[in-house]
Amino acid sequence: MRTSIRLMLNKNRRLKDGRYPLVFRVIHCRRKKLLYTGYRVCEDEFDESVGKVLPDAGSGLTASKVSIINKEVEQMKKNIWGRVRQLELTGLPFSVDDLLRPKEEEKKEGVRQFQLLEYIDGQVETKRMKGKEGMAAAYRSTRSSLAKYVYNVDIDMEKVDYRFVQGYIEFLTQQGIRANTVCYYLRNLRTLYNQAIVDGLRTDKEYPFVKVSTRPAKTVKRAISREDMEAIANLSLEGNYKMELSRDLYLFSFYAQGMSFVDVVFLKKGNIVGETIIYNRHKSKQLIQIVITPQMNQLMKKYAGNGEYIFPIIDVNNPQSVYHQYRLALTNINRHLQKIELSLGIQKRITTYTARHTWATLAHDYGAPISVISAGLGHTSEEMTRVYLKELDSKVLNQVNLVITNLSIAKNDLTG
């Protein structure tokens, strides 16, 4: 190993009171340097074999003081190892002097400094203050992952280069992180890096993501069959309000052109204009209009209340944030859907997202053009789709949705 770090007493500098400076001996490439911790202890107050300070009632070194000292020197050791990691990631040779050089000496005068973890913390707070709790949560999880990669010691964002990113990918893979989750972290890191450039980050290195793919891998088809949808719609859940609510929200998502669950949860009575629901999709802000079908109308009446939301998920009087309430509901409803899946013997995993896939699949099987399906789902990611959307007659979309939802009308759907 090229670097070694050891906590010890500097016995070459015995003080008048018999104590010795507590130091780190750092050796890199056979060159040695001492880093003073600022603490001084007697020889019998230090266990060199484990690198720990020991309490001594006679000297006033109590157990609580010893605990503080040991925690602080352990953190110093972690910082040194973090510094080793930083320098190794540059791919350039470095000396023991570089390793222990005060951080302030590296700062460039007149140039704003960007520290990776610190910058992400700032972006998390910015998103949170703007009410973008989902993005704030995404950045927090990415920050936590990056902190493990850099040994929880912050680094200059200028050092985020291609080598750094490739090392991060390898680190995540070795941790057993799934490929799509790796892509998720990389997309977040790339977004943060791009924002840092907008905010003034200066770097003369090649863009670190130019050769990095963040496209998620194809996953197993999530749609279920028409027969499975009919079984879910006809399942008797009387006496189990929570399970019934979960099932009904799933059906509403399907009936409403595959409306995403977050949009179902935050759908308000103000979004109803005559016989139409008009809303902006939470994810893409795409404007979507849906003619209310009999199935949708029945479910909305079933859960009609005094609040502003159509369905009883968000409680404005709840001290928890609306985002927290949404995430909690998502977890609980997916758990209920899994129970429904098992009780009906459905072979595919059912989640809130399955309804969206199922609507699109059945619409495609019916013969609806891809442009019509894209409009129904509120997709805006493909340029060709956007071109088709400009010429799309909304009557065609309404007709398609009426037909598709009728494919899954429960036999007793409109009689109770």
The DSSP line for 170-187 is HHHHHTT--HHHHHHHHH
Distance separating alpha carbons of residues 77 and 373, to the nearest angstrom: 57
pLDDT, one tens digit per residue, over 157-212 is 888 988 899 889 988 988 888 888 899 999 999 999 988 887 777 776 778 887 78
Specify whether 254 is located in the same domain as 373. yes
Asked whether residue 310 is domain-assigned, the answer is yes
**Residue 58 per-residue DSSP state:** G
Asked whether residue 57 is domain-assigned, the answer is yes
Specify whether 97 is located in the same domain as 235. no
Specify whether 251 is located in the same domain as 353. yes
The mean pLDDT of 276-302, rounded to a whole number, is: 90
Residue 30 in this model has a pLDDT that exceeds 90: no
Residue 416 in this model has a pLDDT that exceeds 60: no
Of the two residues 89 and 354, the one the predictor is more confident about is: 354
The mean pLDDT of 325-349, rounded to a whole number, is: 91
Distance separating alpha carbons of residues 92 and 391, to the nearest angstrom: 57
Domain boundary among 106, 137, 159: 106
Burial of 288 (0-12, 13-18, 19+ CB in 10 A): buried
pLDDT at 406: 76
pLDDT at 253: 93
The mean pLDDT of 45-68, rounded to a whole number, is: 81
Of the two residues 134 and 231, the one the predictor is more confident about is: 231
The mean pLDDT of 222-226, rounded to a whole number, is: 82
Domain boundary among 159, 182, 198: 198
Specify whether 288 is located in the same domain as 385. yes
Specify whether 233 is located in the same domain as 367. yes
Specify whether 233 is located in the same domain as 157. no
Distance separating alpha carbons of residues 210 and 266, to the nearest angstrom: 37
CATH number at residue 385: 1.10.443.10
Residue 294 in this model has a pLDDT that exceeds 90: yes
Asked whether residue 19 is domain-assigned, the answer is yes
The amino acid occupying position 239 is G
Specify whether 244 is located in the same domain as 368. yes
Specify whether 135 is located in the same domain as 91. no
Specify whether 123 is located in the same domain as 159. yes
Tell me what percent of the residues of the chain surpass a pLDDT of 70.
82
Asked whether residue 179 is domain-assigned, the answer is yes
Residue found under tokens 């088709």: 388
Task: Kindly report the average pLDDT of the chain as a whole number.
Answer: 82
Residue found under tokens 């703007």: 130
Domain boundary among 49, 83, 106: 106
pLDDT at 414: 47
Going by pLDDT thresholds of 50, 70 and 90, the confidence category of residue 392 is very low
Domain that holds residue 52: 3-106
Asked whether residue 218 is domain-assigned, the answer is no
Lowest mean per-residue pLDDT among 22-31, 91-100, 385-394: 385-394
pLDDT, one tens digit per residue, over 60-119 is 678 877 888 888 888 888 888 887 887 777 677 888 887 776 544 444 444 456 889 989
The answer to whether 139 and 120 have CB atoms below 8 angstroms apart is yes
pLDDT at 415: 45
Asked whether residue 72 is domain-assigned, the answer is yes
Number of domains in the chain: 3
Specify whether 98 is located in the same domain as 123. no
Of the two residues 331 and 83, the one the predictor is more confident about is: 331
The answer to whether 201 and 194 have CB atoms below 8 angstroms apart is no
Specify whether 274 is located in the same domain as 162. no
Asked whether residue 219 is domain-assigned, the answer is no
Lowest mean per-residue pLDDT among 280-294, 331-345, 368-382: 368-382
Of the two residues 65 and 8, the one the predictor is more confident about is: 8
Distance separating alpha carbons of residues 45 and 359, to the nearest angstrom: 72
Q: Which of 27, 26, 25, 31 is nearest to 8 (CA)?
A: 25
Residue 126 in this model has a pLDDT that exceeds 70: yes
The mean pLDDT of 344-354, rounded to a whole number, is: 89
Specify whether 260 is located in the same domain as 390. yes
Helix H or strand E encompassing 34: strand 31-41
Asked whether residue 413 is domain-assigned, the answer is no
pLDDT at 374: 67
Going by pLDDT thresholds of 50, 70 and 90, the confidence category of residue 14 is confident
